[in-house]
Structure 1
């Protein structure tokens, strides 16, 4: 009966949302172009689902999850599962540098059965992070050029009453092309901040070494704004990329091949690598800099070709969306999937955990009290029966390890046999004739 009711609710919700017009009629749509996530949220409201338990929980979860993200380092990859009988989402926080281009992909199983809304937020110091980019998996990839060095939060939230497995990959690469032709096998030999003039000043750029007269090329589409000669840089060229608020600086050129006001495309020859200016006694190289209205900034992230790929997921996927237990006393729960990270909890043997995703050799898990973190996949196992025992007195069976706030599912009679599956603090997770729940440890 319950299953039939759930199926009817699912069908009703999906038909009603699908029947709503493609353009949201809510108040947000009057002034803003809504993100895919906000469009879906508005449809829920338009159809009255914000007044239902599941609909209101979905809307509340969307706001709350970004206030308690888990930390990761990029590149990053995880495989997870969203269940259709739960209101679920995930939020991941990471550092990114100005000049990087974030590349975020999500693949799903089944591929077309449900949508996952991806929203990238920038932490601004206020309680509400700023939306930086958004997409849904009906589309494809989310690419975002980082305009400000700082911390970013990625929220993934599936539509209601849909289930499926997903694989998320986040990588960061350069937002500009490399400014020296690959024909010269260029290498970066001096970096931002290196000492110059016996410590009298700092290097405001990077030096890219290549054979003399190797083409120095446009790192983006743009316009040449200056072709001059100066004491430090020798023959120099300035160019402004399209739709950007900074200028590229090419120095020590042997030859300048462009003129002021000229439009160039990515890969066009700006000049030829040399050692003019104060580089007369050094091997040929291009001094490459980036200038903003506030002065020079480190250009490395804009052109760094050494983009790393995430480690593959090696933790078993059989525990996704499952309750497991620790199999080693003293297992650590970490705030990052790394043994060098901060351990936020030390767990007892047989502690119950819910697995949401797998990354590298780690599981992203939640404790029964709601604490999130990462645990080594080697430290968890199935929740098969540890032992069977007989109750000496009648006990209540709860849906969570909390006799004060949890719902009581039923009473278990004195003398009835139960199977112990896991534990948490002063509670035991047990199986009673095929029904699972929590009892107080007495």
Structure 2
């Protein structure tokens, strides 16, 4: 698996330590890695990778990192060879709030490979994808800083379109379709247009061949700078480039025609990409149809709020009603909303499980469900829904409390002094 990051733009290629690693070294130098907070920060970064949620590109979310909670979030997603991956993070406040972005590629059976990193002084990552791959992106803020963020992940073509004044709609024959009674497969895409339409360099590079053959007729081949593949332009009416010529993106290489075995077809460009292993699909490299993320319609006022669900709902691995169910939540389950994406929320349960659920049917817990009287065995008010959690206080016998929600065998309650905590249920 070969993945390369663009050499332009605010990207650290891990030739030196990443911004994340430099920050972690600062924590260690100050001895903070031995404190509870420092250890929690390091653990949060590692755990987020293991619990990365699956998304589809394009993706957009708005979220919030609170200073009082040590947090990190991570995503897994697939990108197709030939696409250019663009990751952008905007944050509020723009200054004095650092978020570290780190990107890895997964190789089956192997550890993830570090690809690129950025901090929010340089809040973008751009990567050209040279193999079909699964990526993992982690976001983690510095300690003791609060802030909101908007993350956007999109993908588009890594090359410019090879025909002047044309686009995806003019492509009428795709890679891999049968040719000559299915005795061979089409090794490129056909882009139709008026005769003598300029065909242009899709990248900066060098012309490696100007020639003629039976299938392609008049052809030009060029090698983009820094890439391990060659671009093939065929059926030209006229060749304007010469071998060895250095060209820039958009320079005219020739004029569209129908030479070679295309003599009975309308003028078009056969555009192919060849590697050492043979022809590959050029469409992702030049496809101008770029999808944009769905608008965020879930109420962003609920971000960083504690909510409960009004009916049974599935917490899913992805913001998709068909995605894997991580947990089935009974009514009134307590959760913390961390982010919003399209019509979904990304939420974390009291046990640390994070997933997606629909943005409708959730209510804030500032209004209780009903008043209940506690039994003698319920007087310990815990800091978390665990019997091993610290006891915040011991309530008086016969106390009446406001029930705010539930989680498994615990109830979240508020007493008469507005102290909120967990008591055991059904004892």
* Fold-level similarity (TM above 0.5): yes
Matched, 1:231 2:214: yes
In structure 2, do the counterparts of structure 1 residues 127 and 237 end up closer, same or farther at CA, with 3 Å as the change threshold?
A: closer
Is the CA contact (8 Å cut-off) linking 2:168 and 2:287 kept in structure 1? no
Matched, 1:340 2:317: no
Alignment partner, residue 26 of structure 1 = none
Is the CA contact (8 Å cut-off) linking 1:431 and 1:437 kept in structure 2? yes
Q: CA deviation at 1:126?
A: 4.2
Return the alpha-carbon distance in structure 2 between the equivalents of residues 277 and 424 of structure 1. 71
Return the alpha-carbon distance in structure 1 between the equivalents of residues 163 and 15 of structure 2. 42
Is the CA contact (8 Å cut-off) linking 1:331 and 1:379 kept in structure 2? no
Matched residue SS, 1:63: helix
Return the alpha-carbon distance in structure 1 between the equivalents of residues 146 and 40 of structure 2. 17
Measured against aligned partners, the alpha-carbon deviations of 1:25-80 in whole angstroms (never above 9, x if no partner) come to xxxxxx95111111111111111111111112212222221122001001000000
Greater fraction of residues in helix: 1
- Structure 2 gap segments, 5+ residues each: 1-13
Moved more, 339-348 or 66-75: 339-348
Select the residue among 122, 143, 147 that pairs with 2:126: 143
Matched residue SS, 2:376: coil
Give the alignment's Cα RMSD to 1 decimal. 1.5
With normalisation by structure 1, the TM-score equals 0.90
Measured against aligned partners, the alpha-carbon deviations of 1:190-220 in whole angstroms (never above 9, x if no partner) come to 1111111111111111111111110000000
Q: For 1:37-436, what aligned pairs fall within 5 Å after superposition? A: 37-126=20-109, 128-182=111-165, 187-328=170-311, 330-383=312-365, 384-394=367-377, 395-403=379-387, 405-432=388-415, 433-436=417-420
Measured against aligned partners, the alpha-carbon deviations of 1:258-295 in whole angstroms (never above 9, x if no partner) come to 11101100000011111111111111111111111111
Matched residue SS, 1:40: helix
In structure 2, do the counterparts of structure 1 residues 311 and 185 end up closer, same or farther at CA, with 3 Å as the change threshold?
A: closer
Alignment partner, residue 425 of structure 2 = 441
Alignment partner, residue 15 of structure 1 = none
Return the alpha-carbon distance in structure 2 between the equivalents of residues 372 and 184 of structure 1. 41
Number of aligned residue pairs: 410
- Structure 1 gap segments, 5+ residues each: 1-30
Q: CA deviation at 1:230?
A: 0.7
Matched residue SS, 1:378: coil
Alignment partner, residue 18 of structure 1 = none
Matched residue SS, 2:360: helix
Measured against aligned partners, the alpha-carbon deviations of 1:400-423 in whole angstroms (never above 9, x if no partner) come to 2121x3222222121212110011
Q: CA deviation at 1:379?
A: 2.3
Is the CA contact (8 Å cut-off) linking 1:191 and 1:207 kept in structure 2? yes
